[in-house]
Amino acid sequence: MDHRHLGGSGMLVSSIAYGNWVTHGSQVDRDAATACVRAALDAGITTFDTADVYAETRAEEALGAALKAVRREGVEICTKVYFPTGPGKNGRGLSRKHIMESINGSLRRLGTDYVDLYQTHRYDYATPL
């Protein structure tokens, strides 16, 4: 598997990333999701992309479980923030409050202390850059 630099960050990512948008946690059971992640790892994929909103947060849980036995330093985990993941007037968008609550939830669901890339899923017109 080829690896490329991610922009100007200096971080190398696999040229093919594994995403789990509509599958893990909703359309594919946990064992099948784990088997797919293992096959991706066997193919040399080290970059995994998810989001807190995918499958109502269950996609992050499934990815975290599938990567549990993998050496954390050997993979790049990317997730996203913006969409609502629960009720409440501050549970959406890119306010500092929502970003902090979202990353804490993502870290817990993914079973890790950090993510390698934290992305905004959409521009938030209500929150100045």
CA distances from 91 to 5, 94, 97 (A): 33, 9, 8
Catalytic status, residue 118? no
Q: How many alpha carbons fall within 13 Å on the CB side of residue 51?
A: 17
* 120 SS3 class: strand
From first to last of its 129 residues, the chain has per-residue pLDDT tens of 999 999 999 999 999 999 998 789 889 899 999 999 999 999 999 999 999 999 999 999 999 999 999 999 999 999 999 999 888 899 999 999 999 999 999 999 999 999 999 999 999 999 998
What's the confidence (pLDDT) of residue 73? 97
Give residue 112's Cα distance to chain centre. 11
Q: Please say whether the beta carbons of 52 and 85 come within 8 A.
A: yes
Query: 54, 82, 118, 123: which one is catalytic?
Result: 54
